[in-house]
Amino acid sequence: MQNIIGFTAILATLTGSLGGVILKHRHDLRLEREKRQHEHRLYVAQQFAAFLAKLSNHRAAMWWLEEARAQGRDTAAPYARHLDTRADMTEPHILMQLLMPGLADEVHASVRATYDMDSEMTGREQTMESLVEAQRAAKKAEKDLIDAAIAQFKANGITFAV
């Protein structure tokens, strides 16, 4: 009888220990998964911010170029800056469409609106009034993108509050 009680006590101890190990392992896996998800959300947010900065830089370069064209000034330096900022946007533009496919249309619309500031691409005569209008449209497209991103983050329960 004592052997059965002793065996039962040993079996209960081993079962308890094994159960504890399994629970700890599952807990550790969950924590690791949550950490990876948080790091991915942070990466997406950082890439989104970098994209918006590049988009803003390109919009400013477009303004400088089109202002020079409209005023009949030399366009060599503004044109070179425009080419640099446009090239700088390529990678973040593609990344945003891959990382945030639900916002691909808004991402593309914000880029398209900025490109539409370029009178050579649109084929229209640029005046300061039309440049201001094109810039406002580009800023609105960017704001629409930001609003859509915030809505998507909230809908997915993603917050970055500290």
Q: How many structural domains is the chain composed of?
A: 1
- Which domain, by its residues, includes 116? 40-155
Give the integer Cα–Cα distance in Å for 145 and 149.
Answer: 6
* 32 part of a folded domain: no
Residue pLDDT, tens place only, 92-118: 999 999 999 999 999 999 999 999 988
* 113 part of a folded domain: yes
Residue pLDDT, tens place only, 136-160: 999 999 999 999 999 988 887 777 6
For residue 15, give the amino acid letter: T
Give the integer Cα–Cα distance in Å for 107 and 127.
Answer: 27
* 106 part of a folded domain: yes
* 13 part of a folded domain: no
* 19 part of a folded domain: no
* 101 part of a folded domain: yes
* 1 part of a folded domain: no
pTM score, whole prediction: 0.79
* 162 part of a folded domain: no
Residue pLDDT, tens place only, 38-95: 888 889 889 999 999 999 999 999 999 999 988 889 999 999 999 999 999 999 999 9
